[in-house]
């Protein structure tokens, strides 16, 4: 995967994931969260848990699918606490040089690819 290619990037990513998952309540959610993030950052187009599982663990896709789905949909964690922790980590980097003057929000919409395929509608 391109994200974990050394040069300090992997160590910074793992430190970030460990810090964010401290809000998840269980240490066993760190690895699935890392895999989920890597999958989101390294795949293009429609991003389903099935696709992310196949990309991040092609040798054990079924087990990976269950693991990712548990973290995303079943595991009890507070989205408010996680987003607060993310903001605490990200905002200092964004405002290091100067205050934020504008935010660009991407709605993660996908261009239409036919009339009857997955991810056609917004």
**Three-state SS letters, 54-119:** HHHCHHHHHHHHHHHHHHHHHCCCCHHHHHHHHHHHHHHHHCCCCCCCCCCCCCCCCCCCCCCCCC
Distance separating alpha carbons of residues 73 and 26, to the nearest angstrom: 15
In tens, the pLDDT along 15-36 reads 888 888 888 888 888 899 999 9
In tens, the pLDDT along 87-118 reads 998 888 888 888 888 777 776 665 666 666 56
More confident residue, 50 or 114: 50
pLDDT of residue 1: 44
Reported as a pLDDT band with limits 50, 70 and 90, residue 7 is: low
pLDDT of residue 79: 87
- Its pTM surpasses 0.85: no
């Amino acid at each position: 995967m391109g994200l974990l290619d050394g040069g300090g990037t992997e160590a910074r990513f793992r430190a970030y994931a460990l810090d964010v998952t401290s809000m998840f309540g269980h240490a066993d959610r760190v690895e699935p969260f890392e895999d989920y993030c890597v999958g989101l950052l390294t795949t293009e187009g429609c991003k389903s848990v099935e696709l992310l599982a196949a990309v991040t663990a092609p040798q054990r896709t079924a087990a990976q699918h269950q693991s990712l789905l548990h973290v995303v949909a079943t595991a009890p964690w507070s989205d408010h606490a996680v987003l607060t922790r993310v903001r605490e980590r990200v905002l200092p980097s964004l405002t290091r040089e100067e205050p934020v003057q504008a935010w660009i929000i991407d709605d993660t919409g996908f261009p239409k690819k036919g009339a009857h395929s997955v991810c056609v509608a917004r």
